[in-house]
A and B are shown apart, each in its own frame.
Chain A
Amino acid sequence: MSTKTAKIDRLAELTAQRESAGGASLWTEALRRLRSSKMAIIGAVVIGVFVLLAIVGPWIAPYNPLQQWRGEVFINQNIFVGSRSENWLGLDHLGRDQLSRMLVGARQTLLVGVVATLLGFTVGALIGGLSGAALAFGGKTGQRIDTAVMRFIDMVLALPSLLLAVSIAAIMGQSLTTVMIAVGVVQIPVFARLLRGSMLAQAGSDYVLAARSLGVRRRRIVTAHVLPNSLGPVIVQATLALATAIIEAAALSYLGLGNPDAAQPEWGVMLVQAQPYFDHAPMMALYPALGIIITALGFTLLGEAMREALDPKLRS
């Protein structure tokens, strides 16, 4: 009996401690769960390394990425090499140091991914948010606005994303900005639909009904209740979209619609340049490909972990 009472006392103590710990908001708890998730940690580490490289890459690169060692390039063990052994990852077909090009190229790759995703996120969330708010709280007129906007978004969504990006890039001409815009625009309908759907789900929830019954104004219901609770999936999507954006930017480069500036090494472009030599020097393609894959994987892992952490069904 005494062990039993001791157990109960201990339990009471524990629960009491938890009670006095004070409030933990949903975000705090999500963060706590993220920290204990292996997936999130691996993803965050990969992304951290990538971002670090993007920042310090140009300074730690052993050589100027444009410097060529001409005349001494030959193929050995599946990659171009020079006569010197200092080029750890070998040279490319023009005799430039691969390692330096990878390090400097990280920044370009990240820049394209982040800017394109930001563009898609901002414009998409704006369209989706307004559309969702109009449908849920705008009465008949709001419904019509929403229908018109969403049908247009659906049409854009119906086009294969790469085809759309290629078309935009082809129309606007080759430049870095074009790549960013093309990849970003493709993301807009995804974000728009996602935020709208998420908002609609929240707008039909009991606490929004409760806020209405309290007499809270519509604008406050949207900004204080519906939006904050709808952002979770959109933020997760942004993380996942970053991975897609990097891959799509590489695809555009691969198709010859990438940044034409040869002075700016970029992983996608490097991959393209390696293609003609793939039979004899496959390692030249391997490094940028690995870079893209690992980075995309990092973002995907973090995104998935965030999705799980923010899932209200898993909340304890």
Chain B
Amino acid sequence: MSLLELDDVKVHFPVKRGILFDRTVGHVYAVDGVSLSVTAGQTYGLVGESGCGKTTLGRAVLRLTDITSGSVVFDGTDLAQLPEEEMRRARRRLQMVFQDPLGSLNPRQNIESILAEGMAAHGIGADRAERRERIKEILTKVGLPHSALSRYPHEFSGGQRQRIGIARALVLQPDVIICDEPVSALDVSIQAQVINLLEELQESEGLTYLVIAHDLAVVRHISDVIGVMYLGSLVEEAPSDALYAEPRHPYTRALMSAVPVPDPEVEDRRERILLRGDLPSPASPPAGCRFHTRCPWRQPTRCDTERPALADIGGGHRVACHWAAEIADGSLRPTSELAPPVLVDTGTDGEPGTDPGAGEDTDPGTERKETAAGTPA
């Protein structure tokens, strides 16, 4: 049963210019038509490189940024249509954990005040004593000592601060928690602790997560379903295992190939797809498929004219690519002369970004994929 359902959500920021009076000269298409659904009790992982709009999408769900169009249906109500005050009340059930644990805590508030604030705003707990009891309970749950109550955020370590952030969300007994890069600001050793805490809490509190991250390993570990975002829209969505086993979209393939394998033999041999160029500006996204400017599998037709829709290819796997089937069965190779120069690195020569074809020596054991323009395989 889906608890949170996004339908064609768009968030466009107007670009304004003017000396005395601003006028709109264009839009940044931060989120441009995202539809997804999050099942109750599950974790939906949203990945993508920075600037792809995943954070904006997370904030749009809570209406922390205005939604341009589309609907965000939570438990039967469309949040996008709620008046301000009702939206404020609805936020009790939808909470957020932020990326920067220190920045998201007011430096002038002690922990008790931080944790009590949400309760006061929603009228939970009759008096200070009752709230304090509840806060102590939550502190135990997230693994912080009760002595933390009278202390201030800057006195804690990064991991502890993030626990405070989680406690702040938890105190309101929400149904959904949106975790915006919950561990990317933490040390690797602390990351695991926080991830485990999130998982334990999901089990004991029956929480539903929407986890936004760029770390594929983290997302894989925690998610049931993963959505891959590129330039404001979803390019692929699949159950976690299926996505990692068989990425279908060229962008997802490139992302996956960036994850190092902890085996030097495999690591040396495996195919790596290095994307050329930067993310295009979301203020003037490319026509057709958003990814065609960087896609190694780009074809002469359709790609630059027709925007592919997310199509179900079975097993809950959805992919937005015209040529997904052909790429999957191997009849298309990443070598089209229309494609931008791309380096399929064999791991033995060249730094990322060196010209394709530079470095003539290749290991005899590895297959070299020639990718220079005009050299079809």
Contacts and interface: CB of A to CB of B under 8 A. Distances in A.
B104 A312 contact: no
B91 interface: yes
Contacts of A207: 103-107
A206 interface: yes
A71 interface: no
B110 interface: yes
A172 interface: no
A27 B110 CA distance: 12
Given A25-B108, A213-B62, A215-B88, A206 B98 contact: yes
Name, among A22, A210, A216, A312, the residue most crowded by chain B CB atoms within 10 Å (CB to CB): A210
A235 to B, nearest CB: 14
Interface in A213-232: 213-217, 220, 224-225, 228-229
B95 interface: yes
B106 A229 contact: yes
Interface string B145-164: 00100111011000000000
Interface in B161-217: 165, 168, 172
Contacts of B150: 22-23
Contact of B95 (A20, A206, A213): A213
A225 B62 CA distance: 20
Contacts of A220: 121
A225 B121 CA distance: 14
Contact of B88 (A20, A23, A217): A217
A151 B20 contact: yes
Name, among A20, A214, A216, the residue most crowded by chain B CB atoms within 10 Å (CB to CB): A214
A205 interface: yes
B154 A217 contact: no
Contacts of B8: none
Given A25-B108, A207-B103, A229-B107, A213 B152 contact: no
Contacts of B224: none
Interface in A4-39: 19-20, 22-27
B100 interface: yes
B64 interface: yes
B35 to A, nearest CB: 23
Given A26-B107, A206-B104, A214 B98 contact: no
A113 B107 CA distance: 33
A210 B96 contact: yes
Interface string A190-219: 000000000000000111011111111100
B304 interface: no
A242 to B, nearest CB: 25
A20 B145 CA distance: 12
A229 B107 CA distance: 8
Interface residues of B, number: 35
A205 B118 CA distance: 18
B64 A209 contact: yes
A214 B20 contact: no
A312 B107 contact: yes
A23 B96 contact: no
Contacts of B108: 25-27, 228-229
A25 B152 contact: yes
Contacts of B147: 19-20
B89 interface: yes
Interface in B47-77: 59, 62, 64
Contacts of B89: 215
B122 interface: yes
Contacts of B337: none
B104 A209 contact: yes
B117 interface: yes
A280 interface: no
Contact of A215 (B20, B118, B151, B155): B118
Interface in A146-196: 147, 151
B272 interface: no
Contact of A205 (B103, B122, B154): B103
Contacts of B98: 206, 209-210
A23 B168 contact: no
Nearest to A312: B107
A213 B96 contact: yes
Nearest to A27: B108
Contacts of B155: 23-24
Contact of B151 (A22, A26, A151, A213): A22
Contacts of A216: 117-118, 121
B290 interface: no
A224 B118 CA distance: 13
B322 interface: no
B248 interface: no
Nearest to A217: B121
Given A151-B20, A216-B121, A217-B121, A210 B105 contact: yes
B298 interface: no
Contacts of B136: none
A26 B96 CA distance: 25
A27 B152 CA distance: 11
A10 to B, nearest CB: 20
A211 B98 CA distance: 11
B91 A206 contact: no
B131 interface: no
Nearest to B95: A213
19 contacts: A20-B147, A22-B150, A23-B155, A24-B152, A151-B20, A206-B98, A206-B99, A206-B103, A210-B98, A210-B165, A212-B64, A213-B64, A214-B91, A214-B118, A214-B172, A215-B89, A216-B121, A225-B106, A229-B107
Given A23-B110, A205-B103, A214-B95, 4 more contacts: A23-B150, A211-B106, A224-B117, A229-B108
Closest 4 CB pairs of A and B: A215-B91, A206-B103, A214-B118, A206-B104
Interface of A: 19-20, 22-27, 147, 151, 205-207, 209-217, 220, 224-225, 228-229, 312, 315
